[in-house]
Structure 1
Amino acid sequence: MVANNGSTAQKEQNQTILMVEGMRCGSCAIAVEALLKKQPGVSDAAVNFAADVAMVCWDGEKPPLAELQQAVARLGYRLHSSVDPDRSKLQAASVRKHLQSRLAVAVVFGMWCMMPALLIYLAPLGAVESEALWPLALASGLFAAPVVLYSGSHFYRVGWRTLIAGAPGLDSLIFLAVFAACIISAWQLTAGRYHVYFDAAVMLITFQLIARLLDTSVRRRASEIIRRYLQHVPEQVTLRTATGKLETWPAADIKTGERIVLRAGEQLALDGLIVHGQGQADLAMLTGEHMPQSLSPGAELLAGCQLLEGELELVITASTGQRRIDRLSRSISALLSRKTTLQRLTDRIARILLPVILIAAALAVGLALAQGVPVPEAAARGLAVMIISCPCALSLAIPLVITMGHANMINHGIVLQDPAALEAAAEVGAIVFDKTGTLTTGEPSVDSITPVGQWTQRQLLQLAQDTLRESTHPVARGLMTELASPLAAAPEGTRESITGAGTRWVSDANVTLAGRASWLREQGVKVPPSEDTGMSVHLACNGLYAGKIGFHETLRLESIATIRQLVHQGYAIYLLSGDTRKACLDLAKRLGIAPEHVLSEYSPEQKHSFIDNLEKQTPTVFVGDGLNDGLALAGARLGIAVGNAASATGAAAAVYLTECIDKVPVTLQLAQRARKLMYQNLFWAVGYNALVIPLAVIGWIQPVIAAIAMSLSSLCVLLNSLRMQKQTHPCL
Structure 2
Amino acid sequence: MIDSTAMPAHKTVQESVLFVEGMHCGSCAAAIEMLLSRQQGVIDVSVSFAADTAMLSWNTEQTNITKLKLAISRLGYRLHTTQSTQSERVCDTIRKRLQWRLAVAVVFGMWSMMPAFLVYLAPLGIVEPDITWSLALASGLFALPVLIYSGTHFYKVGWRTLIVGVPGLDTLITFAVAAACILSVWSLIEGSNHVYFDASVMLITFQLIARLLDHSVRRHAADVVRSYLNEAPEDVTVIQPNGEPETLPAKQVQLDQTITLSSGQHLALDACVISGTGYMDISMISGESTPQLIGPDSELYAGCILIEGEVKLSVTAIVGQRRIDNLAQSIRGLLSRKTALQLITDRVARILLPTILIAATTAMMLALFQGLPLLDATARALAVMIITCPCALSLAIPLVVIMGHAHMTTNGIVFQDPAALETAADINVVVFDKTGTLTTNNPTVATIKPANGWSKSELLQLAINTLQDSPHPTARGLSMRGTPTIDSTIGSRKTALGHGTCWQLGNQTVLAGRASWLKAQGVKLLVNTEDEMTLHLACNNQHAGKITFKETIRPEAFSLIPALKDMNMPMYLLSGDTRRSSLALAHHLNIPPERVIAEATPEQKCRFIQYLEKHHSVAFVGDGLNDGLALASAQLGIAVHSASTSASSAAAVYLPDGLMRIPSTLQFAHRARRLMRQNLIWAIIYNGVALPMAITGWVQPVVAAIAMTLSSLCVFINSMRMQRKSDSFTDKACKE
Into which bin does the TM-score normalised by the smaller protein fall? 0.5 to 0.7
CA contact (8 A) 1:414 1:667 kept: no
What residue number does 1:208 align with? 203
Q: Does 1:58 align with 2:56?
A: yes
Give the CA deviation at 1:172.
Answer: 3.2
> Which of 688, 707, 710 is matched with 1:709 structurally?
707
Give the CA deviation at 1:588.
Answer: 3.4
What residue number does 2:450 align with? 451
Is the alpha carbon distance of 1:536 and 1:103 closer, same or farther for their aligned partners in structure 2, counting shifts above 3 Å? closer
Q: Structure 1: how far apart are the matches of 2:223 and 2:203?
A: 28
CA contact (8 A) 1:381 1:703 kept: yes
Provide, for residues 225-271 of structure 1, a one-character-per-residue CA deviation record: whole Å limited to 9, x for no partner: 54799699999979889589999987865668687999xxxx99977
Shifted more, 230-239 versus 60-69: the winner is 230-239
Give the CA deviation at 1:697.
Answer: 3.3
In structure 1, give the amino acid aligned to 2:534: S
Q: SS at the partner of 1:440?
A: coil
In the superposition, the TM-score normalised over structure 1's length comes to 0.67
What residue number does 2:19 align with? 18
In structure 2, give the amino acid aligned to 1:71: A
Structure with greater contact order relative to length (CA < 8 Å, sep ≥ 6): 1
Give the CA deviation at 1:85.
Answer: 1.9
Q: Structure 2: how far apart are the matches of 1:144 and 1:510?
A: 86
What residue number does 2:169 align with? 170
What residue number does 1:348 align with? 347
Q: SS at the partner of 2:551?
A: strand
Is the alpha carbon distance of 1:464 and 1:244 closer, same or farther for their aligned partners in structure 2, counting shifts above 3 Å? same
Count of aligned positions: 683
CA contact (8 A) 1:17 1:333 kept: no
Provide, for residues 532-564 of structure 1, a one-character-per-residue CA deviation record: whole Å limited to 9, x for no partner: 555434556677665433322233576546546
Structure 2 unpaired stretches of 5+: 8-13, 274-283, 286-297, 306-311
Is the alpha carbon distance of 1:541 and 1:271 closer, same or farther for their aligned partners in structure 2, counting shifts above 3 Å? closer
Provide, for residues 362-409 of structure 1, a one-character-per-residue CA deviation record: whole Å limited to 9, x for no partner: 454566567776665454333211111112333344567789999999
Give the CA deviation at 1:458.
Answer: 0.9
Q: Structure 1: how far apart are the matches of 2:370 and 2:591?
A: 74
> Which of 467, 472, 482 is matched with 1:484 structurally?
482
Is the alpha carbon distance of 1:424 and 1:14 closer, same or farther for their aligned partners in structure 2, counting shifts above 3 Å? farther
Provide, for residues 162-215 of structure 1, a one-character-per-residue CA deviation record: whole Å limited to 9, x for no partner: 32121223343344445555666787789xx76564x12x12322233224444
In structure 1, give the amino acid aligned to 2:459: L
In structure 2, give the amino acid aligned to 1:361: A
What residue number does 2:677 align with? 679
In the superposition, the TM-score normalised over structure 2's length comes to 0.67
CA contact (8 A) 1:258 1:316 kept: yes
Shifted more, 205-214 versus 666-675: the winner is 666-675
CA contact (8 A) 2:224 2:650 kept: no
What residue number does 1:309 align with? none
Q: Structure 1: how far apart are the matches of 2:423 and 2:132?
A: 60
Is the alpha carbon distance of 1:139 and 1:205 closer, same or farther for their aligned partners in structure 2, counting shifts above 3 Å? closer
What residue number does 1:71 align with? 71
In structure 2, give the amino acid aligned to 1:587: L
Q: Structure 2: how far apart are the matches of 1:316 and 1:726?
A: 56
Provide, for residues 488-540 of structure 1, a one-character-per-residue CA deviation record: whole Å limited to 9, x for no partner: 46985887969779979896377878753997699684736x76555434556
Q: Structure 2: how far apart are the matches of 1:459 and 1:705?
A: 87
Structure 1 unpaired stretches of 5+: 276-285, 288-297, 306-312
CA contact (8 A) 1:36 1:42 kept: no
Q: Structure 2: how far apart are the matches of 1:363 and 1:327?
A: 53
In structure 1, give the amino acid aligned to 2:73: A
Q: Structure 2: how far apart are the matches of 1:400 and 1:142?
A: 30
Provide, for residues 65-93 of structure 1, a one-character-per-residue CA deviation record: whole Å limited to 9, x for no partner: 43343223323444455352223333444
CA contact (8 A) 2:515 2:525 kept: no
CA contact (8 A) 1:400 1:718 kept: yes
Is the alpha carbon distance of 1:395 and 1:337 closer, same or farther for their aligned partners in structure 2, counting shifts above 3 Å? farther
Q: Structure 2: how far apart are the matches of 1:55 and 1:150?
A: 28
Is the alpha carbon distance of 1:24 and 1:100 closer, same or farther for their aligned partners in structure 2, counting shifts above 3 Å? farther
Q: Structure 2: how far apart are the matches of 1:353 and 1:597?
A: 50
Is the alpha carbon distance of 1:564 and 1:215 closer, same or farther for their aligned partners in structure 2, counting shifts above 3 Å? same
Q: Structure 2: how far apart are the matches of 1:404 and 1:127?
A: 40
Q: Structure 2: how far apart are the matches of 1:526 and 1:484?
A: 26
Shifted more, 445-454 versus 76-85: the winner is 76-85
* Identity level (%): 41
Q: Structure 1: how far apart are the matches of 2:627 and 2:186?
A: 70
Q: SS at the partner of 2:426?
A: coil
Q: Structure 2: how far apart are the matches of 1:145 and 1:632?
A: 49
CA contact (8 A) 2:233 2:268 kept: no
CA contact (8 A) 1:695 1:701 kept: yes
Q: SS at the partner of 1:449?
A: strand
Q: Structure 1: how far apart are the matches of 2:247 and 2:537?
A: 53
Give the CA deviation at 1:43.
Answer: 2.9
CA contact (8 A) 2:43 2:59 kept: no
Q: Structure 2: how far apart are the matches of 1:35 and 1:510?
A: 76
CA contact (8 A) 1:203 1:704 kept: no
What residue number does 2:291 align with? none
Q: Structure 2: how far apart are the matches of 1:215 and 1:111?
A: 21
What residue number does 2:389 align with? 390
CA contact (8 A) 1:240 1:260 kept: yes
CA contact (8 A) 1:137 1:194 kept: no
Is the alpha carbon distance of 1:340 and 1:151 closer, same or farther for their aligned partners in structure 2, counting shifts above 3 Å? closer
CA contact (8 A) 2:391 2:712 kept: yes
In structure 2, give the amino acid aligned to 1:66: T
Is the alpha carbon distance of 1:119 and 1:619 closer, same or farther for their aligned partners in structure 2, counting shifts above 3 Å? closer
CA contact (8 A) 2:442 2:477 kept: no
In structure 1, give the amino acid aligned to 2:93: L
Q: Structure 2: how far apart are the matches of 1:612 and 1:149?
A: 47
What residue number does 2:290 align with? none
In structure 1, give the amino acid aligned to 2:202: F
- The equivalences for 1:534-683 within 5 A come to 534-538=532-536, 546-555=544-553, 559-560=557-558, 563=561, 566-567=564-565, 571-575=569-573, 583-584=581-582, 586-591=584-589, 593-595=590-592, 599=596, 618-623=616-621, 662=659, 665=662, 672=670, 675-683=673-681
Shifted more, 87-96 versus 631-640: the winner is 631-640
What residue number does 1:88 align with? 91
Q: SS at the partner of 1:554?
A: coil
Q: Structure 1: how far apart are the matches of 2:225 and 2:654?
A: 16
Is the alpha carbon distance of 1:652 and 1:14 closer, same or farther for their aligned partners in structure 2, counting shifts above 3 Å? farther
In structure 1, give the amino acid aligned to 2:75: L
Is the alpha carbon distance of 1:587 and 1:357 closer, same or farther for their aligned partners in structure 2, counting shifts above 3 Å? same
Is the alpha carbon distance of 1:414 and 1:477 closer, same or farther for their aligned partners in structure 2, counting shifts above 3 Å? farther
Q: Structure 1: how far apart are the matches of 2:58 and 2:661?
A: 38
Q: Structure 1: how far apart are the matches of 2:671 and 2:576?
A: 35
Q: SS at the partner of 1:426?
A: helix
What residue number does 2:309 align with? none
